[in-house]
Amino acid sequence: MKSIIKLINLHFWKSMLAPFFAFIFPIIFIVILGLLLGYDQLLGGALSIPSMTVGLIAMPQAIFEFKRSVLLKRIGVTKVKPWMFLLAISLYYVGIMLLSTAFCIVMSLAIFSSNWNEGLDWVNVPIDTNGTIGTIITPTFYQMLQNVNWGEFVWALFMNIFVATSIGLMLVSILKSSLAIQALGIPILIISQFLSAQVLPIPMVREVDAMYYLSYISPFKYSTGLMINAWQGSVQLSTDNSTILGLNTIGTDAYIQIQQNSIFNINSTMYYYYEKDGINSVEIFNKADKVVNLVMPFVWTIIFSGVAIKFFKWNNR
């Protein structure tokens, strides 16, 4: 097993494709969308991108290249069983996904360092009956990191990794060419990014009926939903529209009040507040959503892994 891991590691760093999709591609999205939409709306969903790009593109591409290499052409008649090879390469790329996610968090600290102790002005609103105008301010980057439920976020991240890995293994098991793997993997990646609220604010997806119902076809909707819930974090906004503007003020700055929320507490509902002709709220995750988000990553992982194990062969014919 150790020799297989060393071989996989050597192949990874010699390839231009794998490091690009692991460490450069996700940062491009974080920089562009973070500057356009704000870190507070972006990072929870965007941090699911590294595991997706590695699982859907880099990993299956690497396995395919191993399958057609002279070195491993006769591996099927050695003591190395197919499941051992799949396990080794899966474990290696799971490590790459974790490293890539950590790298994206660190890079986000650098990109949005100017907001470490200062939030972004969100919207001006009346904060008392006298018509005093205050500014609702987004959390600082430091406050946002404090609000993340890190234990639940790691759980959600692993759910996303398991789904991405199982899909990648399935792609390389049922498809017969590198072009076919990319032709199917890239559309799954792009479509899931939009439907799963990785590159769009989640209220936008939730409020557009067509996108909301289509999102259920994406295997990543559920694990990404867990990541967003955990990142938004151990807190959620008050469900009372009449009080969020009222009394939690510092000078003329008004801050939205928050309350506890957990991905495992299915009886709690997550709301998201946004500004559109005033302050509006949209229900993001209710009880049914939370149950489905917790269950479906396991279902998809079992299905895709089963297909991969059944159809994986050492040759491409």
Q: How many CA atoms lie within 13 A of 269 on its CB side?
A: 12
SS (H, E, C) the chain: CHHHHHHHHHHHHHCCHHHHHHHHHHHHHHHHHHHHHCHHHHHHHHCCHHHHHHHHHHHHHHHHHHHCCCCCCCHHHCCCCHHHHHHHHHHHHHHHHHHHHHHHHHHHHHHCHHHCCCCCEEEEEECCCCCCEEEEECCCHHHHHHHCCHHHHHHHHHHHHHHHHHHHHHHHHHCCCHHHHHHHHHHHHHHHHHHCCCCCCHHHHHHCHHHHHHHHHCCHHHHHHHHHHHHHCCEEECCCCCCCCCCCEECCEECCCEEECCCCCCCCCEEEEEECCCEEEEEEECHHHHHHHHHHHHHHHHHHHHHHHHHCCCCCC
Task: Please give the pLDDT value at position 110.
Answer: 86
pLDDT for 266? 85
What local confidence, expressed as pLDDT, does residue 267 receive?
A: 84
pLDDT digits (tens, 9 = 90+) for 14-32: 888 889 999 999 999 888 8
Torsions phi, psi for 204 (to 5 deg):
-65, -45
Which pLDDT value is given to residue 279? Answer: 58
pLDDT of residue 168: 94
Q: What is the pLDDT of residue 316?
A: 56
Q: How far is CA 73 from CA 68, 70, 77, 78, 314, in A?
A: 6, 5, 9, 10, 7
Strand-pair partners of 281: 273
Residue ranges in the chain modelled with pLDDT below 70: 1, 38, 40-41, 70-82, 119-138, 233-260, 272-281, 314-317
Work out whether the CA dihedral 108, 109, 114, 119 comes out positive or negative: positive
pLDDT at residue number 244: 41
The per-residue pLDDT for 135 is 62
